[in-house]
Amino acid sequence: MTDKLVQPFSQKRTAELAESLSAGGTIKGRSLWADARNRFVANKAAMASVVVLLLVFAFSLLGDYLTQFDNETIDWDVMGSVKELGRPSLSNGHWFGFDESGRDLYSRVVQGSRISLSVGLVGAFIAVMVGTLYGSVAGFVGGRVDSIMMRLVDIFMSIPYMFVLILLLVVFGRSISMLFVGIGLTAWLDMSRIVRGQTLSLKNREYVEAAVAMGVSTPKIITRHIVPNLLGVVVVYATLLVPQMILTESFISFLGLGVQEPDTSWGALISEGVKSMNYGTLWHLAFPLFFFVITIFCFFFIGDGLRDALDPKDR
């Protein structure tokens, strides 16, 4: 930073500057977002995680095109003797080997990645939207409305959410959409609390007071002044929420309540892998576990990087 300041303006630059001043042109400002982006790009662990994560995404979306096998066809020859014939092998194109039922494990992992990632993203999205709206309204309106809204959150929070989720899946049937709804609906509670706290502190900032004084309406104040200033916190929390969603889904699937055959997810694949561990087919566990772990790690690193980049203390 400092060497940039010390460096004298090159003549060309000075000329440009003078020209833009005289021509009545405008000088581009450096927004807080631009600052944060620069800090984030400088964070090596976070940037590496972004790259790895993009590869995982690409794998889940495009992985199917790289193999001639699909995720349904059962190879009856292999089925009975997966341990001997179903090993991962580069020569026959079954890179990850076969699963317990004689299906191509590579295709299964691609399929599982797609479902796990979308559960994570969609679940986090629902949670963030509901939580941000709920929390910012409660925080900004304040008073009795705030008390009632937050007590409601307290009550919901006191119910063990795993229990609710399992109940939902049992009562309404096990489907992916139910899983989305169930996970999303329980995860917004934390979000709403965080956002409410932030809103309370933002509400007393002078620029919000200034907006009130100049006659800006309440909805406009929330969307124009509160939410953009909340965004930093929301973004950080959202990136940390995605792996949490993936973990929840995996746990539910591990218990056998989540996605159902023929669909699969990382959790379901890991669960199968664990069951067949005793038969010596360790690759059943290793491949899905690998993707699961690196994805979770990447999200955490990115979340950390974002938090450092957006930290208002650095301003």
Instruction: Name the site residues for another protein (rule: CB under 8 A).
Output: 20-21, 24-33, 205-207, 209-217, 220, 224-225, 228-229, 315
Q: Which residue has the tokens 């979306």?
A: 61
Minimum gap (Å) between residue 234 Cβ and another protein: 13
Minimum gap (Å) between residue 307 Cβ and another protein: 18
Give the helix ranges, DSSP H, for the chain. Answer: 2-6, 11-22, 32-41, 44-62, 76-79, 82-85, 105-141, 143-158, 161-172, 176-203, 206-214, 218-221, 227-254, 266-275, 283-310
Please tell me the distance from the alpha carbon of residue 307 to that of residue 238, in angstroms, as a whole number. 11
Minimum gap (Å) between residue 149 Cβ and another protein: 17
Please tell me the distance from the alpha carbon of residue 207 to that of residue 144, in angstroms, as a whole number. 24
Q: Which residue has the tokens 């995860």?
A: 187
Minimum gap (Å) between residue 148 Cβ and another protein: 13
Q: Which is nearer to another protein, 92 or 223 (CB)?
A: 223
Q: Which is nearer to another protein, 114 or 225 (CB)?
A: 225
What's phi and psi for 104, nearest 5 deg? Answer: -70, 120
Q: Which is nearer to another protein, 20 or 81 (CB)?
A: 20
Please tell me the distance from the alpha carbon of residue 45 to that of residue 172, in angstroms, as a whole number. 42
Minimum gap (Å) between residue 26 Cβ and another protein: 5
Q: Which is nearer to another protein, 10 or 31 (CB)?
A: 31
C-alpha distances (whole Å) from 207 to each of 31, 135, 158 are: 17, 20, 36
What one-character DSSP code corresponds to residue 210? H
Q: Which is nearer to another protein, 14 or 217 (CB)?
A: 217
Minimum gap (Å) between residue 29 Cβ and another protein: 3
Q: Which is nearer to another protein, 151 or 275 (CB)?
A: 151
